[in-house]
Amino acid sequence: IGSSQKKNSAAGSNDNKNTMMVSKKNNSTQSVIQSLMLFALGAFATSLFYKMQGTAYHRSRGNKREPGNAWTLAITMTFSDESDLQYILDEWKMVTKYCQENEPFLLHYEGGKMDSDPLKLHMLERYASKDDYLNKHKQGSEFLKFRPKLKKLQDEGKVTIEGYSYQELGIGFV
């Protein structure tokens, strides 16, 4: 092989090495871009999953605590009959669904039965402000449908309602 052929062969070999290096760099760059795109897609899918869940867990974790600004209402309803309690719980489901979807100022809205008296229902409601409770929540369409049903049971002596409210001090955590 002549010297010019050796040079051409060496030059061709260098070209192949350079092409392979560029190809490896392109593959590496493409791999990084693909990884970032998959990560972004995964983050988007996770976010969408939790948004679509609409669960109480997700909702409560999504609200930010503003110490000292939340206004809280705690009530206890004592029913004389299990069927009336169940009726109110069934009716209240529509209120909670409406509140979760339409009342971002409502930070916590939950009920529970007392361990020692299954006819007692406790409700805890946290609002961004007392004004939000008085002028927004109490004017909500589902609340306005629900409240007369509860009032009727009160007037018939089938349920008593006691409660209290307070302005949070901002000491503690949620």
Lowest-confidence region among 11-15, 61-65, 96-100? 61-65
Flag whether pLDDT at 170 surpasses 70. yes
- Sign of CA pseudo-dihedral 27, 29, 30, 34: positive
Angle between helices 82-102 and 141-155 (to 10 degrees): 160
- pLDDT, tens only, 133-146: 999 999 999 999 99
3-state class of 99 per DSSP? helix
Whether the full predicted model's pTM is greater than 0.75, yes or no, is no
